[in-house]
Amino acid sequence: MKKPLLLSILTLFLVSFSAFADLKTYYEDLDNDGNLETVTVHQKYRTPDNMPPLAGEGIVTVYDEDLEKAMSFVMPDRMGKVEFVSLNKDGSKQIVAWSSGGAHYTNLAIYGYSDGELHKLFKNGTACLIKLDFDAEKPTIRIGRANWEKKGWSYAAGGHGDSLWQVYVWNGKEFILDKELSTTPEISEGKEAERYLDKAKSLMGKTEKQSKIEKEIAEFARQHKDFEQLRPIMHEISLRPENENLSLQELYDKAKKQTK
**8 closest CA partner among 87, 82, 63, 71:** 63
Q: Encode pLDDT of 111-121 as tens digits.
A: 999 988 999 99
* Chain mean pLDDT for the chain: 79
* pLDDT(51) > 90: no
Tell me if 62 sits within 8 A of 41, measured CB to CB: no
Residue 105 CA to residue 76 CA, distance in Å, equals 10
| Dihedral sign for Cα atoms in the order 160, 166, 171, 173 | negative
The better pLDDT of the pair 21, 131 is held by 131
Q: Encode pLDDT of 173-232 as tens digits.
A: 999 999 999 988 776 656 655 665 665 566 556 566 667 777 788 888 888 888 777 777
**183 closest CA partner among 152, 129, 146:** 146
DSSP string, 92-126: --EEEEEEEETTTEEEEEEEEEETTEEEEEEEEEE
Q: What is the rounded end-to-end Cα distance, in angstroms, of the chain?
A: 96
* Structural domains for the chain: 1-124 (2.40.128.460), 128-187 (no CATH), 204-259 (no CATH)
Residue 108 CA to residue 139 CA, distance in Å, equals 15
Of all helices (H) and strands (E), which one includes residue 204? Answer: helix 189-223
Q: Encode pLDDT of 81-113 as tens digits.
A: 999 999 999 999 999 999 987 656 899 999 999
Residue 159 CA to residue 76 CA, distance in Å, equals 22
| pLDDT attached to residue 103 | 59
**59 closest CA partner among 67, 71, 69, 51:** 71
Q: Encode pLDDT of 226-235 as tens digits.
A: 877 777 777 7
Average pLDDT over residues 57-71: 88
| Dihedral sign for Cα atoms in the order 193, 195, 201, 207 | negative
| pLDDT attached to residue 132 | 96
